[in-house]
Amino acid sequence: MLKKNSPCLPLFIKEGDRGSSYKAYDLTKRMQAVLPRPIMDLIKYIGRMAEKEGLASFAVGGMVRDILQGLRNFDLDIVIEKDAIKFAELLTKKLRGTLVVHRKFGTATIYTDWPKGVLAPPLAGPKLKIDLATARRERYERPAALPTVEFASLKEDLYRRDFTINAMAISLTKENFGQVIDFFEGIRDLKMRRIRALHAKSFIDDPTRIFRAIRFEQRLSFKIDPYTENLIREAVGKKMFDKTGDQRIRDEIILILKEREPYKALGRMDELDELEVIHKDIRLNKRVEKMFISCYDNYLWYVRHFPERRPLDLYVMYLMALTDMLSLRDVETLCERFVFRRSDRLRLISYKKCGQGVLKRLGKQGIVKASKIYSLLKPLSHETILACLARAENKLVTRRIKAFIKRYGDISIHMTGHDLMAYGLKAGPHFKDILGKILAAKIDGMIATRKDEREYLRKLVH
């Protein structure tokens, strides 16, 4: 068990300097200030329960980094020295949660109800997620391969991580609860606002860390240090992404597009010659930047005006902007290569197939019936429609698209096929045409009530 001020808890202490004196950082008060009390109580409970089982437990990763910066983070990432899975099974029963186990990696995830009084972050999901892992080292049989896992000490577990600022831990044992464990000068790098890799083979072992370096740099307003940037350029030059699974690259791209300012991260990728990993013909220019900004503005407009509607996938709109200069075939190939989920693929291809045609038709001068606008836009997802809005270059198109979203997007009629049969019509494909004409009349303001629909039907069939 770790003891207070033990020399195995170095802060700013290099290997071989164990005789030096140093101050041990106790983050208990800062944790209490940053975290809601129910989350703090849960963390303490996990520590007590682990100790009861004879286990040392530690909070690690992003939560430690953010607490040191005074930021709130509910990513409960816990490392257990010894058997995390067995402990996770016991903890799941106590929390009445559900458990997902990955025995090959010695990891487990618990999903449980959010503690009372805790307002879950917008993207956190309906359940609180607790990740538990056995302290482990990773061995890479070849560059960019998935690692072989061997159980190890906490220090070895922290050394396998991506950057020094993510390689710190907080002890959860009662005797030294809240004490920071920093073997690799992560606190110093936080103070200097820099992203630094832990070792020279970091990006060779796992090239996706390059994306994470950029994400953290832009999110935290830090700077990738020169040593780490040289390692990135070396890995890109050796075409390490060619040895990396496309689906892993896809996931990292989506995470970048989910950042608050993704265009800045993409610009940094461009500086480091990474954009061609997505597609060789993707270019960042003023038009693409303008479309990114417009996508975000239109997203905010939609969310403010229609909070009750389905949440939008903003990252899909950004993908439409990023691939706007590519051909339909290029987009189809890109979707196949990265194995985008079906809904993302359909929306991307829909924008590429229909976007320009929709904008051209909506840009025609003169009177265009609302029902015509409806027929153009209704088959498209709201992400596709808002991407078209972002791409629009005249006020007439903007006005027509927004009118559809505000007034016509959710319009419907009372009449159904059963009503047509009750009226004496024989069921068949023509029902769709009849109901479509009634809906068009309602959209164009010719009819309004159920009675109006019946009267209009009578005119149609006589």
Neighbours of 355 (CB within 10 A): 18
d(CA 211, CA 208): 5
* Residue with tokens 């996508």, as numbered in its chain: 295
Among residues of the chain, what percentage have pLDDT more than 70?
Answer: 91
pLDDT of res. 20: 33
Neighbours of 181 (CB within 10 A): 26
d(CA 350, CA 409): 18
Is 360 buried (19+), middle (13-18) or exposed (0-12) by CB count in 10 A? Answer: exposed
* Beta strand spans in 53-163 (E): 56-60, 76-81, 98-102, 107-112, 128-134, 136-139, 148-151
From the list 236, 246, 321, 323, the residue with the least C-alpha distance to 271 is: 236
Query: Is 105 or 112 the better-scoring residue by pLDDT?
Result: 112
Q: Mean pLDDT in the chain?
A: 88
Query: Is 428 or 143 the better-scoring residue by pLDDT?
Result: 428
Residues 350 and 381: beta-carbon distance below 8 Å: yes
d(CA 294, CA 400): 17
Rounded average pLDDT over 251-277: 93
d(CA 386, CA 347): 12
| pLDDT band per the 50, 70, 90 thresholds, residue 15 | very low
* Residue with tokens 């006020």, as numbered in its chain: 395
Farthest CA pair distance, the chain: 100
| pLDDT band per the 50, 70, 90 thresholds, residue 337 | very high
Q: Measuring CA to CA, how many Å separate 241 from each of 122, 166, 227, 334?
A: 32, 23, 20, 15
Contact residues for 210 (Cβ-Cβ < 8 A; gap 6+)? 203, 232, 235, 236, 272, 274
Neighbours of 415 (CB within 10 A): 19
Class (C level, CATH) for 286-408: mainly alpha
| pLDDT band per the 50, 70, 90 thresholds, residue 420 | confident
pLDDT of res. 178: 93
- Domain spans, the chain: 1-192, 286-408, 417-461
d(CA 36, CA 31): 9
pLDDT of res. 444: 87
Class (C level, CATH) for 1-192: alpha beta
pLDDT beyond 60 at 52: yes
Instruction: For residue range 115-149, list pLDDT tens digits in order.
Output: 887 776 765 678 899 999 998 776 655 555 555 55
pLDDT of res. 247: 93
d(CA 164, CA 190): 9
pLDDT beyond 80 at 440: yes
CATH topology identical between 1-192 and 286-408: no
From the list 328, 375, 374, 378, the residue with the least C-alpha distance to 351 is: 328
pLDDT beyond 80 at 258: yes
Instruction: For residue range 293-303, list pLDDT tens digits in order.
Output: 999 999 999 99
Rounded average pLDDT over 7-20: 35
d(CA 83, CA 107): 9
Half-sphere CA count of 19, side-chain side, radius 13 A: 1
pLDDT of res. 144: 52
pLDDT beyond 50 at 211: yes
Instruction: For residue range 345-404, list pLDDT tens digits in order.
Output: 999 999 999 999 999 999 888 888 999 999 999 999 999 999 999 999 889 999 999 999
pLDDT of res. 309: 87
Residues 192 and 233: beta-carbon distance below 8 Å: no
pLDDT of res. 13: 32
| pLDDT band per the 50, 70, 90 thresholds, residue 426 | confident
pLDDT beyond 60 at 6: no
| pLDDT band per the 50, 70, 90 thresholds, residue 21 | very low
